[in-house]
Each structure stands twice: as structure tokens, then as C-alpha cells.
Amino acid sequence: MKETVIVLDGALGAVLSLCKSAEAHGFQTVVVCIERNRCDVYRHSKYVSAVYYSAVDDLLHTFTEICTHCQVKGKPLLLFTADIYCIIVNKRRACFDRIVTLGMPSSEIIDGFCYKNKAGDMAKVNGLTVPRTTCINDMQDVEKVADTFTFPVIVKPLSVEYGEQIGFKYKILNRSEFIQEELWNSLSGKLLCQEYIPGSDNSYWFYVFFRNGQGNVTECMGVKTMQSNGIMAVGTTKYNPELAQMAREFLKRIGYVGIGGIEYKRYNGAYYFIEMSTRTEGFLPISDMAGVSIADAAFQYYRTGKIPCKESQQRDGIRYISVLSAVAEVLRRKNVKTAIRALLLLLFSRKGYWVECFFRDGTYVRYIRQIIKQKIG
């Protein structure tokens, strides 16, 4: 029997990175997908021991089946790569906790930070600077925002549970667009409105971390040098002692234990809290390249219960790129010549990590074939 890690499918790069690190620590790795057509992608990865398909409502049964069929030693460690899984599992946390070891923070943190209207309040109470925010429940809220907020504003779903129904990740609206928006009547109570903090892509900062039960933090941070629909397409590691101190104090105050990520935006010398992830980020592998592996710290802690190895400071100037997202953003911006030159420099840089490096074991080849088939079909 072997110790086992179960990873719920979400961001492909994060799933494979976790599986790769888990294998290096001697775990057998099992990926569970709720989309059947994703299973074949993982079955061809050398880092994945087994792949299971499961309907959302059958996750408990699936985890029990894994424990039986995979000859699991003890309770397997369950890790998350998408917010929706955190919400689903947390709603029946006691049931899941009997079968697996949950690699997630407390119920209070999940309930707070997976819902954006609560996240801002919790961040503010615990010492962070937060943009002005309100939930749109009715037309009176629309009128109040129009009269009192500074425009433009950002409108986005309150949580991923409403993402498919709403149909967009976010919109930036000026005052006239906001008033005329046709979504309010049908989607009231499911949308958050937030004052827009000015700044270009590189004013966004990412902070990914693992915090253990003794309060020790392994962290990696940097600048989001290019975003695509809110997703980091290109990022560069850059240590920021002010941000590190701020984040560590915040995590201590809320009692966070586990893997997570925080996004900030810098404006006029202040760092504004934008959002927090209570699971692994899609760009988790950048921490491996920077010499402060978040995954390694987590596996060491969950396997031995000990404090991770002596903390070290990250290597700066490490570049992360999701080629597919970056190319999509290049085409959207129509600044092709300049952007392609930058992408080529990133791809061939010795100080770079690109998500599609998993081409080497054939995983991404099959993933792209699948996308092409879906588009053509």
C-alpha cells in the first residue's frame, strides 16, 4: 500500500505540477475529473497513477472506490485546483473528512473567501486595504452605485457557482454602461460591483503560499506582466518584503492553514486586496522554478507533520508563461509584432517556466488535439 494524493481536476498545469511533485515525494497520484473528456488527457501523463471520472454528486463514492481499488495507505490527501470544488466539498465537509485528508483551510475561510461579497469584508476587518464594493440585489443598489461610486467599476459573479449562468468573468463599465446594463433584473443577488483600481497589468501582484499548522510560510510572489481575461498569461517573480510582511500578518490573523493565493493591485503606494484563492493557483509551478516550491512544502508537511525545510528566499526574474492564454491575449490586443517578440524571448529564456512544458510527456499534445476536435466538431 502507498500513501496517495487525490487531485480534483481544474487548471491542467496546476494538476500536473502537483502530481509531479507528489510522485517525487513517493505518493501515488490519482486525478478525478467531473468532465469525462478530460480523463484521457491525464491517462497519458507519466506523473499520474490513475484517473477516475465522477459526477459531482458521486464524489464521496468515488473517493471510497479509490481507497479500495488503489490500495491506499491511510486516508488519501485531497487537493483542489478550482474554487467550485472547495465550495462543494466544504458543504459536506464532515462526510468527506471521514474518507480523505482535506488539503484546504477552515470552513470559515472557504465560506468567506469563495464568495466575493464576504471576501472584501473579511480582508478589510483583518487589516488589508480593499476597493469599495457592494452586492447588486435590486435596482436601488444600481442607483446607489451610480450616485456614490467612482467610475469605472468592475462587475463580476459573486462566486463560481454563478459563473456559467452569468456568462462572463468580469466586465469593466463606465457610468452610462452600468446604468443601461440589462443583467440586473435577471441576475440580481449574484453580481458584485467593485470600484476599479487604476493601473496596467504589471500593477497586479500575485502571492502564492503554503502555511502550516505552526504558522511557517513558504511563499512565492511577483508581478503579473500580462493578463488574459483576468488569468495570468505571463508573470515574473519579484520578492517584495512589504507585501510578504502584509500577507503573512493577514494569514496569521485569519488562521489560514494550507495552500492558497492572494492577488493585490498596487495604486498610489497602497496594495489593494483583489481576491483570494483557497486552493492551488494555476501558476503554482512558478514557485518550483523560483526555488521555493509550494507543493513540496505542502507534501512534506502533510506526510510528516513537520515544519518544512529551512525557509529560503525565492529567485527573482523567473518568468512564467501560459502560451495558449498569452497568444489569445496577443491576438485580442492586435499588437502582434511587439508581443510575438516578447513571447519568443520568454519561451527561449533560461530563466523561464512555460506551462506547456508538459509537452515533453505528451500530455498537452493530447489536450490541444482535444480542443481542436471540440472546436471543429
Q: Which residues of the chain, if any, have pLDDT below 70? A: 1, 181, 183, 185-188, 307-312, 324, 327, 333-377
pLDDT of the residue at 7: 95
Indicate if 320 and 345 belong to the same structural domain.
yes
Collapsing DSSP to helix, strand or coil, 284 comes out as coil
Tally of domains in the chain = 3
pLDDT of the residue at 153: 93
CATH code for the domain of 267: 3.30.470.20
pLDDT of the residue at 107: 96
Sequence-distant (6+) residues with CB within 8 A of 97 are none
pLDDT of the residue at 358: 53
Q: Which residue, 195, 214, 234, sits at the end of a domain?
A: 195
Indicate if 181 and 240 belong to the same structural domain.
no
Residues β-bridged to residue 262: 207, 276
Indicate if 229 and 186 belong to the same structural domain.
no
Could you give the C-alpha distances from 182 to 71, 121, 168, in angstroms and in order? 54, 27, 14
CB 210 within 8 Å of CB 185: no
- The 10s digit of each residue's pLDDT in 347-358 is 565 555 555 455
Indicate if 40 and 142 belong to the same structural domain.
no
Pairwise CA distance, residues 112 & 121, whole Å? 9
Q: Which residue, 104, 123, 147, sits at the end of a domain?
A: 104
Indicate if 66 and 180 belong to the same structural domain.
no
Strands (DSSP E) found in 230-358? 231-237, 258-267, 270-277, 319-321, 352-354
Taking phi over 0 as left and psi of -120 to 50 as alpha, with beta for the rest, 269 belongs to left
pLDDT of the residue at 33: 94
Pairwise CA distance, residues 325 & 274, whole Å? 21
- Parent domain of 159: 132-195
Question: Is 373 contained in some domain?
Answer: no
CB 321 within 8 Å of CB 347: yes
CB 59 within 8 Å of CB 52: no
Q: What is the DSSP string of 27-75?
A: -EEEEEESSGGGHHHHHT-TT-SEEEE--GGGHHHHHHHHHHHTTBSSS
Pairwise CA distance, residues 171 & 157, whole Å? 10
Indicate if 191 and 206 belong to the same structural domain.
no
Pairwise CA distance, residues 279 & 277, whole Å? 6
Question: Is 337 contained in some domain?
Answer: yes
Collapsing DSSP to helix, strand or coil, 77 comes out as strand
Torsions phi, psi of 2, nearest 5? -125, 150
Question: Is 118 contained in some domain?
Answer: no
Q: Which residue, 195, 220, 250, sits at the end of a domain?
A: 195
Contacts 24+ apart (CB under 8 A), 68-71: 70/4, 70/28, 70/30, 71/1, 71/2
Which helix (H) or strand (E) covers residue 172, if one does? strand 171-173
CB 78 within 8 Å of CB 102: yes
CATH code for the domain of 186: 3.30.1490
- The 10s digit of each residue's pLDDT in 199-249 is 887 899 999 999 998 899 999 999 988 777 777 878 899 999 999 999 999
Question: Is 22 contained in some domain?
Answer: yes
Pairwise CA distance, residues 163 & 157, whole Å? 6
CB 59 within 8 Å of CB 88: yes
Q: What predicted TM-score, i.e. pTM, was given to this entire model?
A: 0.88
Question: Is 52 contained in some domain?
Answer: yes
Question: Is 178 contained in some domain?
Answer: yes
Indicate if 155 and 206 belong to the same structural domain.
no
